[in-house]
Amino acid sequence: MTRYIFVTGGVVSSLGKGIISSSIGKLLQSRGYSITIQKFDPYINIDPGTLNPYEHGECYVTVDGMETDLDLGHYERFTGIRTTRQNSITTGRIYQTVIDRERRGDYLGKTIQVVPHITDEIKARMTAPEGTVDFVITEVGGTIGDIESAPFMEAMRQLKWELSGRAISVHLTYVPYLRAAGELKTKPTQHSVKELQGMGIQPDILILRTEQHLSDGVRQKVASFCNVDLECVVQSEDMPSIYEVPVSMQRQGLDSAILRKLGIPVGETPELGPWRRFLELQRTSTREVHIGLVGKYDLQDAYKSIRESLYLAGVYNEVRVKLHFINSENITKQNIAKEVEGMAGILICPGFGSRGIEGKIIAAQYCREHDVPAFGICLGMQMMVIEFARNVLGYCDANSAEMDDKTPHNVIDIMESQKNIEKMGGTMRLGAYACELRDDSRVRDIYGCKTIEERHRHRYEFNNNYIDEYEKAGMQCVGRNPESSLVEIVEVPGCRWYVGTQFHPEYQSTVLHPHPLFMDFVRTCKG
């Protein structure tokens, strides 16, 4: 029988519900249970695909091509599961489904209301994995009290009642420390729990986010005021790394408390061997490797998966990767040497639109000509291609049709089959696609296999009409899609490490299985 764990947040946003959900999933997996994790977001957008990264951080892509919240990246990195469109639901998708059914006449003329029609659809999505896994962990975005999340809370309330002992509520709140008074304050947590109780939901487990260690007295106070067992009041202190959180939660008995609440025998506590070995490597790595991220979004979450992939690869290479954001809008030919000074390697970031692309092209040229290890991802790879056309092939006006649809040398272009499709989604290549690697290439050695599968999120492609010119001049098209022959990877063998990928390898890098491209790139930077 599938059990359900609902994770909500109170007091303030950005407390780390995604990290807690991922940690719960990891701990249950270590006990031999199968899990999946869902994210329900209250915003009305169908998905975050059109949202500015400053609004929502990076857009994560699942294997089946769904553009989702960045928390799904945490789910996959921590647990190794492969998420799909069923793992990411928004208010927009819920309402769109219900309205489409109403237009078809599926409701037989009934008045459509939030309760029961919207809540029934939410419940159906929440319980869709029934019977396929042992545990479904459902994270509800936003903060308790938000108007937008009210239908999700009502659906949760109904499910906790209907599932009778198969569902529990985990509530994450904030315990602030008032420095002037020298006190930790539990009142915000009490109010948050009362708000939740006012919706008919009694939390079974409280996780208290804190920047100061909580005494047993503070935990006992929270337990008494919130009707929660003391063993079910767990603190989540600031950690040196988010990857310490599962071990901290296990040490405090979070997974044991969950099992007891669901009437499941607890058994012995698993050792988390590989995870602890990773943490030990993380603690003992002292040498620093500095890598520059050339992009246009000066926001940590905008390139979250890339940052984490580089960090994980650094741990396994026994170095501490120090990332430095380099704003591509500020890069010129006059200052590029100063901008990349001290960097052991450069990663040219993905993105959309023309803002900042000339800086990326200048960075690609500098790395190629000065043999600085360089890794271009998606748009970053396309900037490598454009730079090579301008400065090696001699096409000074070379560009992408996305940036200049009048250029006579459109080395990056939309394919003919895409040109009559409405834009903003219809022409996007999304999700996992196969790629065949050339036998004599560096990437073939890195992957250790002939055929790979990687996830895409882009609209424009390498123009195959130019392949012969590129390869004669020294840039090799070493990865191709077996069905369409589209170029997926380019490399310059004459450089120490100069590789561009049309796909996003960062989406498949996990704590226990770092991506081979990031591993080799960091290894080269380390050397």
Q: Is 458 a catalytic residue?
A: no
pLDDT band for position 75 (cuts 50, 70, 90): very high
Say which CATH number the domain at 206 has: 3.40.50.300
Residue of 310 and 406 predicted with greater confidence = 310
Q: What are the pLDDT digits (tens) for 219-260?
A: 999 999 999 999 999 999 999 999 999 999 999 999 999 999
Catalytic site residue from 378, 435, 477, 495:
378
Residue 290 and residue 273 in one domain: no
- Mean pLDDT, all residues of the chain: 95
Domains of the chain: total: 2
Clarify whether 506 is annotated catalytic: yes
Which range marks the domain in which residue 233 is found? Answer: 3-277
Mean pLDDT of 40-62: 89
Question: What pLDDT shows up at residue 24?
Answer: 98
150 and 232 both lie in a single domain: yes
Same domain for 253 and 323?
no
Mean pLDDT, residues 432-461 taken together: 97
Shared domain check, 384 and 323: yes
Residues 371 and 355 in one domain: yes
Half-sphere exposure at residue 74, Cβ-oriented, CA atoms within 13 angstroms = 24
In terms of domains, do 395 and 263 share one? Answer: no
Q: Across residues 196-202, what is the average pLDDT?
A: 96
Average pLDDT in the 422-446 region?
A: 85
- Burial state string for 280-309 with b = 16 or more CB within 10 A and e = fewer than 16: eebeebeeebbbbbbbbbeeeebbbbbbbb
Task: Check if the beta carbon of residue 411 is closer than 8 Å to that of residue 463.
Answer: yes
Query: What b/e string do you get for 492-511 counting C-beta neighbours within 10 Å, with b at 16 or more?
Result: beebebbbbbbbbbbbbbbb
Whether residue 452 sits in one domain with residue 304: yes
Paired residues of 37 in beta bridges: 137
Catalytic position from the list 74, 171, 409, 504: 504
What does the pLDDT look like over 381-413, one tens digit per residue?
999 999 999 999 999 999 999 899 889 999 999
β-pairing, 429-437 vs 374-377, is unpaired
Look at the block and give the residue holding tokens 């492969």. 82
Sign of CA dihedral 235, 241, 246, 250: negative
Per-residue pLDDT reduced to its tens digit, 271-282:
999 999 999 999
C-alpha dihedral, 189 to 236 to 59 to 328, nearest 10°:
110
Distances (CA, A) of 224 to 168, 236, 249, 358: 19, 19, 21, 60
Query: What mean pLDDT do residues 114-129 have?
Result: 97
Residues 171 and 297 in one domain: no
Q: Which residue of the set 58, 339, 506, 525 is catalytic?
A: 506
Q: Are 434 and 298 in the same domain?
A: yes
Question: What residue type is 88 in one-letter code?
Answer: S
**325 and 253 inside one domain:** no
Closest by CA position to 162, among listed 123, 202, 214, 204: 123
- Check whether 341 has a pLDDT greater than 80: yes
Residue-level pLDDT at 423: 46
56 is catalytic: no
**Helix/strand/coil (H/E/C) assignment for every residue in 156-169:** HHHHHHHCCCCEEE
Domain-terminating residue out of 256, 277, 298: 277
Q: Which of 277, 306, 322 is the last residue of a domain?
A: 277
Do 272 and 289 reside in the same domain of the chain?
A: no
Mean pLDDT, residues 200-219 taken together: 96
- Which tokens go with 281? 């490597």
Average pLDDT of span 131-151: 95
What are the tens digits of pLDDT across the range 165-196?
999 999 999 999 998 888 999 999 999 999 99
Select from 277, 311, 342 the last residue of a domain. Answer: 277
Share of the chain above pLDDT 70, in %: 98
* 202 and 294 inside one domain: no
Distances (CA, A) of 232 to 11, 169, 249: 19, 11, 11
The DSSP bridge pattern shows strands 233-237 and 205-210 to be parallel
